[in-house]
Structure 1
């Protein structure tokens, strides 16, 4: 009988963990709270050698279409003039470009969308996962890859809560074909910074919706980190036009028109005009930035990885890579444990915790 794992969270961290365990001969089932496909939810990401190594280990092809190669990083002043240039080659990709091959690598019956984890119990040496619909699943190991507000972490480490960092990341993606030719010509294929006081804007090209990296068919992605210092300000951002408060998980279509208009006006008044043009053409949405540190990331056949374990703030551009490295460390710990699962989890906790 195969050793079985349950992964809570069907985003990148969960898919990394599931695929790596599957390659060790485990039977793995992934349970994702969201009912629809996640491929449309991500934005642009930067790649790193460590991330590409994990993908390569899984046999996922890294070809020229995997991302857009930028050769230079340029910091712009508010008038749009370069004030610093750094030659630094980097491949910029799209979240979906990683998500799709990871998900496709799992057999469809082992990915369960629309299943909301509600708790766990233990029975005769097994972990029993419980879901809102009343169903259960049994396994030898449960992995929590369910993000910042992890339900699994709440069971493993009650009292460990995310702490708001005092700022948000405004994001947007624009099809290159929608950008005026004069702006496209000005942008070229570079990675841009803008640094208003106390803020940071990043803007770069990524593969288009059809994975195209051809000029005119790419997307331009931005993320703009801005202080939103008080919980009152954050609550206002997270309230829709009908007065409904969404906590800190505001669906992009629900951001109020007056809020998006304000951020576009701020872009016009504080950012380089070529970057402000991209913000103007986008449908801005935001991510509130939190910190979380788990005292333990593995205990009694339950393990955490990715943002569920620790958060790498997004402005360092390592969140996806961290999830991949967590997953590879977890899988290697199990592979080298000669069947001692508890010892493997202790090693993982020591190395990544």
Structure 2
């Protein structure tokens, strides 16, 4: 959670920024850890995307989020989830520029690989980075944190406020009375509790938002009917033929009931030199809910059955061996090799989530990023949402738009992207000539038409 206060006001947020928004555009592709990376993007990008002026800003992440920096390199090495930010660069306006986040890699973004040697290429240039680099550059700009990535944090000219990042604080309750929002939190390190009062709270604590659980506990989520196996392997361990097949591009293989996507990501330290990078893959496979197959796949080595994510190091070796055998049977040889040479896989069950109500407490509490809406991963749009929400937040706090318009715009993006992610999932998992795909197709284009007419078409 982020807290902002001034000599005359207190503003808290679970990812916030206040004051003057500066706008620029660029394209960044980043690879981030699996622990809801856009929550980290939101927490810090909203804080760095706006010039802090006469304000004190405090971030209260949960223990899981606050340790993201320490785990960033390790998690990137394992997950490398692809994130695409295409609209708003939240770093360039500040002391350390976006060019320091870009690792310099450029590649054609999409290849289609089949079981035969045929390769079809669609060119589009993309750049990449990793969460570790992005996180520390944002922290340098946010609260002046020094690191090996940013050893000399910039001094932001004209900044009259201050910013602090409080680790291991978990929101336990949120109340509204007499125009103030009261947030109660637990220090996960000492088990002590604290309370803060705010004029504004911005909830951006990710897909498993504690604030949303407290205030909107009845929001529904539905299993989509398939799981995603994920993993990475060091480029140095891959055969030359396979490296050439996957070199610097995203490659797909589709089959009835599933598909796999793979792309190159920087090494743990951001190294983009050949031989020092990693190859990251995600393999979607159909798996009926409440089936014995689902139970088997999502049950870890300790016998605990997970409903959303089976984390790194907990996958049952027997299940993993079965998946590797399946890879040998149905995947092209380069993909099968990647699966075989992955040592620490993890699994995510794909869900559709009901979108939260963006504004509560007379506009004194706002939900943004994954806390507002969580999409299926096919569209890789969580970072786009976090950046757009931050930009619109700046416009709202500057008075350029009112609360109703802010709500309408963030919902427009969230609704359209959610339906698009379902459409892509239906296309890859079910195929075009199916009722599932057709229903998603018409639902999506109906929404596009409605938003275009209302001039609120985003994404």
Provide the secondary structure at the position in 1 that maps to 2:392.
Answer: helix
Deviation at 1:314, TM superposition (A): 1.1
Give the direction of change, closer, same or farther, for the CA distance of 1:60–1:237 in structure 2 (3 Å limit): farther
Determine whether 1:222 maps to 2:266.
no
Matched residue, 2:120: 84
Determine whether 1:70 maps to 2:107.
yes
Question: Which of 204, 213, 227 is the equivalent residue of 1:168?
Answer: 227
Superposed CA deviations along residues 233-264 of structure 1, whole A, max 9, x for unmatched, are 44433322221234423321112112222222
Deviation at 1:124, TM superposition (A): 4.1
Return the alpha-carbon distance in structure 1 between the equivalents of residues 226 and 347 of structure 2. Answer: 10
Determine whether 1:99 maps to 2:122.
no
Superposed CA deviations along residues 171-192 of structure 1, whole A, max 9, x for unmatched, are 2122211222332234332221
Provide the aligned length of Structure 1 versus Structure 2: 346
Matched residue, 2:444: none
Matched residue, 2:394: 331
Q: For the Cα contact (< 8 Å) 2:104–2:128, is it kept in 1?
A: yes
Superposed CA deviations along residues 99-138 of structure 1, whole A, max 9, x for unmatched, are 2322332225722222221111235432221123322222
Question: Which of 25, 32, 45 is the equivalent residue of 2:82?
Answer: 45
Provide the secondary structure at the position in 2 that maps to 1:195.
Answer: strand
Deviation at 1:345, TM superposition (A): 3.5
Superposed CA deviations along residues 285-328 of structure 1, whole A, max 9, x for unmatched, are 12222222335211221111112111232111212122111121
Q: For the Cα contact (< 8 Å) 1:68–1:213, is it kept in 2?
A: yes
Gaps in structure 2 of 5+ consecutive residues: 1-6, 16-38, 146-162, 412-459
Question: Which of 8, 11, 17 is the equivalent residue of 2:46?
Answer: 17
Question: Which of 289, 302, 317 is the equivalent residue of 2:350?
Answer: 289
Mapping of residues 176-215 of structure 1, within 5 Å: 176-215=235-274
Provide the secondary structure at the position in 2 that maps to 1:287.
Answer: strand
Give the direction of change, closer, same or farther, for the CA distance of 1:155–1:66 in structure 2 (3 Å limit): same
Return the alpha-carbon distance in structure 1 between the equivalents of residues 313 and 356 of structure 2. Answer: 36
Matched residue, 2:67: 36
Question: Which of 8, 24, 31 is the equivalent residue of 2:14?
Answer: 8
Deviation at 1:82, TM superposition (A): 2.7
Return the alpha-carbon distance in structure 2 between the equivalents of residues 177 and 48 of structure 1. Answer: 29
Mapping of residues 112-261 of structure 1, within 5 Å: 112-132=166-186, 133=191, 134-232=193-291, 233-261=293-321
Q: For the Cα contact (< 8 Å) 1:157–1:294, is it kept in 2?
A: no
Return the alpha-carbon distance in structure 1 between the equivalents of residues 211 and 55 of structure 2. Answer: 21
Return the alpha-carbon distance in structure 2 between the equivalents of residues 236 and 248 of structure 1. Answer: 14
Provide the secondary structure at the position in 2 that maps to 1:99.
Answer: helix
Return the alpha-carbon distance in structure 2 between the equivalents of residues 189 and 54 of structure 1. Answer: 26
Deviation at 1:194, TM superposition (A): 0.6
Return the alpha-carbon distance in structure 2 between the equivalents of residues 277 and 92 of structure 1. Answer: 24
Q: For the Cα contact (< 8 Å) 1:5–1:142, is it kept in 2?
A: yes
Q: In terms of mean alpha carbon deviation, does 174-183 or 231-240 score higher?
A: 231-240
Deviation at 1:76, TM superposition (A): 1.0
Return the alpha-carbon distance in structure 1 between the equivalents of residues 241 and 120 of structure 2. Answer: 22
Provide the secondary structure at the position in 2 that maps to 1:11.
Answer: helix
Gaps in structure 1 of 5+ consecutive residues: 338-342
Matched residue, 1:279: 339
Matched residue, 1:340: none
Q: For the Cα contact (< 8 Å) 1:4–1:139, is it kept in 2?
A: yes
Q: For the Cα contact (< 8 Å) 2:12–2:200, is it kept in 1?
A: yes
Q: In terms of mean alpha carbon deviation, does 148-157 or 60-69 score higher?
A: 60-69
Return the alpha-carbon distance in structure 1 between the equivalents of residues 14 and 123 of structure 2. Answer: 41
Return the alpha-carbon distance in structure 2 between the equivalents of residues 231 and 21 of structure 1. Answer: 46
Deviation at 1:70, TM superposition (A): 1.1
Return the alpha-carbon distance in structure 2 between the equivalents of residues 305 and 71 of structure 1. Answer: 31
Deviation at 1:195, TM superposition (A): 0.5
Q: Could you tell me the TM-score, scaled by structure 1's length?
A: 0.88
Give the direction of change, closer, same or farther, for the CA distance of 1:319–1:64 in structure 2 (3 Å limit): closer
Provide the secondary structure at the position in 1 that maps to 2:338.
Answer: helix
Give the direction of change, closer, same or farther, for the CA distance of 1:161–1:147 in structure 2 (3 Å limit): farther
Matched residue, 1:27: 56
Return the alpha-carbon distance in structure 2 between the equivalents of residues 13 and 201 of structure 1. Answer: 28
Deviation at 1:23, TM superposition (A): 3.3
Superposed CA deviations along residues 133-188 of structure 1, whole A, max 9, x for unmatched, are 32222222212212222221233333112222222222212221122233223433
Provide the secondary structure at the position in 1 that maps to 2:57.
Answer: strand
Give the direction of change, closer, same or farther, for the CA distance of 1:137–1:247 in structure 2 (3 Å limit): farther
Return the alpha-carbon distance in structure 2 between the equivalents of residues 192 and 207 of structure 1. Answer: 16
Q: Could you tell me the TM-score, scaled by structure 2's length?
A: 0.69
Determine whether 1:321 maps to 2:384.
yes
